Structure 1
């Protein structure tokens, strides 16, 4: 699944109303933790 689609899903699930644009970025650890919490895991080879 594409990163932008996962981001949209996470925004909805977590109730985030802030959107990243330009130099305005969310805390990457907050985003990563939310992704993992909702079952989005990195793809691995093997």
Structure 2
């Protein structure tokens, strides 16, 4: 698997979520799911869908 890079916004978001999950001793997938739900709700709120 190719390592994730901070060179893209998606890479930065993933690595930030991964670091937060590690600090709080939680699963990365839990944070990824919450991130996706929050972004989707934000898009709905802005009428971007």
Question: Which TM bucket (shorter chain)?
Answer: 0.3 to 0.5
Of structures 1 and 2, the one scoring higher in RCO (CA 8 A, sep 6+) is 1
Task: Judging by fraction of residues, say which structure has more helix.
Answer: 2
* Bigger radius of gyration: 2
